[in-house]
A and B are shown apart, each in its own frame.
Chain A
Amino acid sequence: DAKTTQPNSMESNEEEPVHLPCNHSTISGTDYIHWYRQLPSQGPEYVIHGLTSNVNNRMASLAIAEDRKSSTLILHRATLRDAAVYYCILRDGSNDYKLSFGAGTTVTVRA
């Protein structure tokens, strides 16, 4: 399985943007980049995913490097409710339905 590398933790102030980096230098052409987050005492929830192009949805934006070896999840205006562990995951789009979670990045939002 292709692996991802994320910082252990990040801090942000409320109402400010948060940029969460993810390195995936061994990504293959069929790997999708997924982001999930896990709020305290809850199950993981989907945030966003992409293959090659940048993606936007109501929760966040995903910026994917041109060589696809890294990506950045962008929370445009952090709120206290965005405090969670954020997981960057590679999924093989050809035949693998599994999600392999790493340690993720723990995001703390200061009021």
Chain B
Amino acid sequence: DAGVIQSPRHEVTEMGQEVTLRCKPISGHDYLFWYRQTMMRGLELLIYFNNNVPIDDSGMPEDRFSAKMPNASFSTLKIQPSEPRDSAVYFCASSFAGGSRPLGETQYFGPGTRLLVL
């Protein structure tokens, strides 16, 4: 298995531009998570999906951020318009629970997208 795939790996953009980050979870996984990591705030959960449905988006910082999961093999995180304070590493992770209560299932993280907003 190729693991969680994220693209692009690096993104440099100017303030005000739209940024779209992409994630392909591990095949068969039913949970998908988006995290953001900065030096100041550490690793934060932004949103997560179960079976393509957003379950908890309380970590999404503001309306400029949106996430979608149109099918089980693809998700996007969009920032529009982007601001310099959005500069961070964005991680996507997936896991499999199979509809049962979690018994400590592992989250598998992608390599991350390093975003720099100038």
- Contact surface of A with B, Cβ cutoff 8 Å: 32, 34, 36, 38, 42-46, 49-51, 87, 91, 93-103
Quick one: given A91-B102, A94-B101, A97-B50, are A46 and B107 in contact (CB under 8 Å)? Answer: yes
A-B contacts, CB under 8 A, total: 59
Which of the residues B95, B108, B110 comes within 8 Å of A97, measured between beta carbons?
B95
10 smallest CB-CB distances across A and B, nearest first, come from A43-B109, A101-B43, A46-B106, A49-B104, A32-B104, A43-B91, A44-B109, A43-B112, A98-B45, A43-B110
Q: How distant is B11 from chain A, measured CB to nearest CB, in Å? A: 16
- B118 interface residue per 8 A CB criterion: no
- Contact surface of B with A, Cβ cutoff 8 Å: 4, 31, 33, 42-45, 48, 50, 55-56, 91, 93, 95, 97, 101-104, 106-112
Which of the residues A32, A51, A94, A103 comes within 8 Å of B42, measured between beta carbons?
A103
Q: Which chain B residues border A44 with CB–CB below 8 Å?
A: 43, 91, 93, 107, 109
A97 adjacent to B97 (CB under 8 Å): yes
Q: How distant is A47 from chain B, measured CB to nearest CB, in Å? A: 10
A93 adjacent to B31 (CB under 8 Å): no
A43 adjacent to B102 (CB under 8 Å): no
A43 adjacent to B104 (CB under 8 Å): no
Q: Which chain B residues border A42 with CB–CB below 8 Å?
A: 111-112
Q: Which chain B residues border A102 with CB–CB below 8 Å?
A: 42
* A46 and B105 alpha carbons, distance in the complex (Å): 10
* A32 and B97 alpha carbons, distance in the complex (Å): 15
* A94 and B42 alpha carbons, distance in the complex (Å): 26
Q: How distant is A61 from chain B, measured CB to nearest CB, in Å? A: 16
* A95 and B108 alpha carbons, distance in the complex (Å): 19
Quick one: given A95-B101, A98-B56, A99-B107, are A43 and B31 in contact (CB under 8 Å)? Answer: no
